[in-house]
Structure 1
Amino acid sequence: MKPLEESPARIASREIFEKIYDDYNRRIYVSPDPLQFLYDYEETADREVVGLIASGLAYGRVAQILKSVKRVLDALGPRPAEYLRNSARRDHEEKLGGFVHRFTDCGEMCGFLTAIGEALRRCGSLEELFISGYNGDMSAAMENFADTFNRCAGRDNMFLLPRPSKGSACKRMALFLRWMVRRDDVDPGGWRGISPAELLIPLDTHMFNITTTLGLCRSKSANGKAAAEITENFKEICPEDPVKYDFALTRYGIREEMTVEELFAKWHLER
């Protein structure tokens, strides 16, 4: 495999990724994925709330993720932003008694919802909260967002919103930002204050294995350093939108009819 740094390889890589994007970056390939919940909300104010909840709970088995997200959203009603802005923790506790999603119990979930409501009252929107700490450094903005959000919850840390300073790739927050900043057939968008060019790749073990095999990552573990490295390599291929191919690539190995072996065969054949 030619090194990624060579210009012809970058050109070939973009052609391959664009083909994969054209074939699989389609809404028919979304389900089952927590992203599907965002399509039910036309208003950005509601969509960003739903996106933060759905991405925060996006760990574990997908069937349980969808079940847990649905239970929370059912409790919030059709206008989740308005509901959270005008409700209190006791309201969430009454509706979500006994809630458990792996490491997240009712107490943390209710604290998370309370923090969203407080953030909306203080800043007007989650986008305004995020932008208030953004100065061109996405990792620093993610850290500031988590820090401010945790203060709204009266906590130092929440599993639902990890911090880059802990070394985490912060996959779920990066996923939330992808959903809200990008706009195409899959990502619904809604935020206007951040450019897609500034996004970080939502890195989990699955994406780590794919990018390592494709020569886009030399790091030894799927941490924040690896996420930054992979993002930089995708910027060499698509500087205006480095996470553009994330959804299409991660369909391989997630959907039964799309195997990782098929992706690797396509990559070697077309290069």
Structure 2
Amino acid sequence: MAKELIAVLVTDNNGEATHNYTGTGAGQTTFVAESENLISNSLTINDINTTFTVTADKSILSYADNESCTITATYEGETVNGKTVVFKNGETVLATKTTNSNGVATYDYESQGVGDVTITVECMNLQETYEIEDCYFYDTLTTDKQLFSIATGSGTLTYSNDGLTFRDSTSSETKVLFDKQLPTSDYEVSYDIVAYGNTNNKPQVCFEDFFLGINNNGYYGRRVSVSDNIWRETGSPTPPHTIKHKITGTSSKTVETYQNSTLLGTATSINQTRLMQIFAYENGRSITFTNLKIKPL
């Protein structure tokens, strides 16, 4: 077999020279060193391709529903069976597993409602991460799970693949309540929304006396202004819009409201009743929600 020159080196004061070789996946490779007509003994290594991937069957979990996800680590190389795989959250070791004959090791992560979590998985000096949104509560709102109820007025709640649609059917105010208690510590509520109305009558979302007005004429403090395009079927950007509320404080709350990534406004001194309320005004006004997430900050 023909020789290939890979490096020319100079020895140091100890008569040593080193070379860092980066694997190419070429298979079994033999190295020799030559100096002043002297030939070293040979060194043979198995230069093989190895890959390490991490996947999971879910990336969003709901602690309120006792959800979990299975994280799967797959090692591909010359010998895949019996490799040690370590699953970690930060510096905390969650589990140490061993790959099977297919190079696969799994770990079941149970939701704890702690917010965003980065799972680090290590195997044979290889490392990958997997991001989990570990929510206190999460639901797509595509099926009726008795989460919302009409508290006052007359309206309808309809579930579909688009999410939960709340439509008012009278000329007076209708109010819908979210029937799960929200956290008492700092937390974040987010959802995707499409709202339909007109210039004079637009749906609203609120926290007790805090309102997210689907309106161009809202008031800062108790009420937060939202641009017109949030309630129109066509807007820029096109609905649905992601609405996010960041709620901080103890008995008196501060609420920051974002449309997509833009801060719309801040409401302060909000009493904590831990109820999310939805309002719609006049016949035909509606809001469609999906991907409701509640998680700690």
TM over 0.5: no
User: Which of the two has higher C-alpha Rg?
Assistant: 2
Name the TM-score class by shorter chain. under 0.3
TM-score normalised by structure 1 residue count = 0.23
**Structure 1 or 2: larger strand share?**
2
**Structure 1 or 2: larger helix share?**
1
